Structure 1
């Protein structure tokens, strides 16, 4: 097994396969988008496969595919087939905005994809348009209903934003009345391509708001290394959780690392990166050298997101788009 210098077991990789996205969500990137990386600067699928095979031999058993929007990258289904064939990868999860996912649901089910996190910040067509700057609400909802017909576990990720989608909190919770879904309310972060999160609602404020609507909510046990604190409304089929992505209350049990689209290792969402597995791969390094590089990196991992952000310094504040990191 792979452990960091704080004794935390690392068994989960979030792999961003592209920085490109067809939406322009307010909390992720500016309206005119970001400067995308050149194709040659991205990891190839072959390089990603090699990394994941090496990492799996070190104890990585859970893989989340992210972007950008992963389904905009050509060849994604063939890549997922290869990931599902790695013996020691026990779970594959995907985070998607749902705009290109509907036609792949049956294939994903056949690949035994464990869960899909659907980024959906509003159930109101106009608010969806205002947040994403794209008119794709119907398409995303079609994907949602197609997923409900499958055996894939469905989660909805909603970033909570003052003045934009607070009125969606109750409708989102009502989705859990009859559907076995998990709605997760996420604290807004400054990874929006410009920095700052003036509309930030902390976890406590979100929970207090929910309790005003549903005073008798029940606390559920949180899975090991869970990023969310989880609850259920009595009598409802599904559940909901709150992810303290900005107040960072879950760092002490963090079991995950990230690989960005260009192959940079991020041992914490808030760190500045620096170790390029792309360059190491392309230098001709052996599998053993790559494995040892990851082991050494785990020996100097930040204690938490605050320490990682502080180490960036004033000259490099958190401001990059989440699409360049991997959502």
Structure 2
């Protein structure tokens, strides 16, 4: 069992396979996009497979594939197939925006993909374009339909943004009435690739819950699974569930079981730190697996207590400016 210096079990890795994305969501990056990494700056699939094998041998049980958008990277399906062959790995999950995903869905379940998180901030096509700067909602909904058709568990992730999509909270909740999905509302975070676009959080988890309770006063709290980042709820008569993630408030840090690997191979033991270990350099200087494991253990054993401490310990002081696309979703 892999544990950090605060006694928290670490069994989950979020692995970003690319920084590139085919959307331009304003809460993630500037309209013109980012200065994309050169291919050689990214971990190769071979490097990622070696790293994942080492991590699984250390006690990692679950790997989530993120980006950027994973399906913009060439040969992603071959990589997923190879990843699924790692002995001891119990779960592979994927986070995607769904624009390119639908044609690949029939292949996901046979290779052992456990579930998919689908980003969907609105069901309104005009608001979708305003948020993402791309007219791709029909393709995202095709992916949702394909995932449900192939009985792959789906979580719909919606970032709640003041003045942008708060009117979509209840329509998204309504999806749970007839669809077996978990609709999850996420507090907006400052990872937009530039200056933060708000001075303070307007829609925290409590305000989101209050909005849902006003329309569904009988909503009931569900027991949260171990390590859950979401507060989970059920509305009577609905087949799906509702979750609220306090990503900015950071109230779940005490049970955090995850680490992140950025597209360029930097280990983040907290979403809010600025990277604690350059794994890519270790891999490319032909370090042994034992040396790689020792470096990972050292980093995990010097982990920040929570997101607030991680932010204070950042080498670059001041507001956070990274894009979510560059730090692994």
SS in 2 for 1:3: coil
Partner of 1:217: 219
SS in 2 for 1:242: strand
The 8 Å contact of residues 20 and 72 in structure 1, kept in 2 or not, is answered as yes
Partner of 2:268: 266
The 8 Å contact of residues 187 and 200 in structure 1, kept in 2 or not, is answered as no
SS in 1 for 2:117: strand
- For residues 242-253 of structure 1, the aligned pairs below 5 Å read 242-253=244-255
The 8 Å contact of residues 269 and 276 in structure 2, kept in 1 or not, is answered as no
Q: Distance in 2 between matches of 1:33 and 1:231?
A: 36
1:274 offset after TM fit, Å? 3.6
The 8 Å contact of residues 60 and 89 in structure 1, kept in 2 or not, is answered as yes
Q: Distance in 2 between matches of 1:206 and 1:297?
A: 35
- Alpha-carbon displacement from aligned partner over 1:209-267 (angstroms, at most 9, x marks no partner): 11111111000010000000000111100001000000000000000000000000000
Q: Distance in 1 between matches of 2:316 and 2:101?
A: 40
- For residues 291-302 of structure 1, the aligned pairs below 5 Å read 291-302=293-304
Q: Distance in 2 between matches of 1:120 and 1:32?
A: 21
Q: Distance in 2 between matches of 1:200 and 1:308?
A: 23
1:316 offset after TM fit, Å? 5.0
Q: Distance in 1 between matches of 2:106 and 2:237?
A: 30
CA distance change for structure 1 residues 197 and 244 in 2, over 3 Å: closer, same or farther? farther
Q: Distance in 2 between matches of 1:299 and 1:220?
A: 33
1:124 offset after TM fit, Å? 0.3
The 8 Å contact of residues 188 and 197 in structure 1, kept in 2 or not, is answered as no
Of 183, 202, 205, the match for 2:204: 202
- Alpha-carbon displacement from aligned partner over 1:34-86 (angstroms, at most 9, x marks no partner): 11111101000000000000000000010000000000000100000011111
CA distance change for structure 1 residues 314 and 37 in 2, over 3 Å: closer, same or farther? closer
How many residue pairs get matched? 327
Q: Distance in 2 between matches of 1:121 and 1:200?
A: 17
1:313 offset after TM fit, Å? 5.8
Partner of 2:327: 325
SS in 2 for 1:9: coil
Q: Distance in 1 between matches of 2:63 and 2:92?
A: 5
Q: Distance in 1 between matches of 2:131 and 2:188?
A: 13
SS in 2 for 1:156: strand
Partner of 2:33: 33
SS in 2 for 1:312: coil
Partner of 1:79: 79
The 8 Å contact of residues 274 and 315 in structure 2, kept in 1 or not, is answered as no
Partner of 1:284: 286
SS in 1 for 2:56: helix
Partner of 1:182: 182
CA distance change for structure 1 residues 126 and 21 in 2, over 3 Å: closer, same or farther? same
The 8 Å contact of residues 187 and 243 in structure 1, kept in 2 or not, is answered as yes
- Alpha-carbon displacement from aligned partner over 1:168-211 (angstroms, at most 9, x marks no partner): 11110110001110000000000001132426411111111111
TM-score (norm 2): 0.98
The 8 Å contact of residues 160 and 188 in structure 2, kept in 1 or not, is answered as yes
The 8 Å contact of residues 160 and 200 in structure 1, kept in 2 or not, is answered as no
1:193 equivalent in alignment to 2:188: no
1:152 offset after TM fit, Å? 1.1
TM-score (norm 1): 0.98
Q: Distance in 2 between matches of 1:274 and 1:237?
A: 42
Unaligned runs of 5+ in 2: none
The 8 Å contact of residues 4 and 301 in structure 2, kept in 1 or not, is answered as yes
Which segment is superposed worse, 199-208 or 42-51? 199-208
Of 255, 258, 278, the match for 2:257: 255
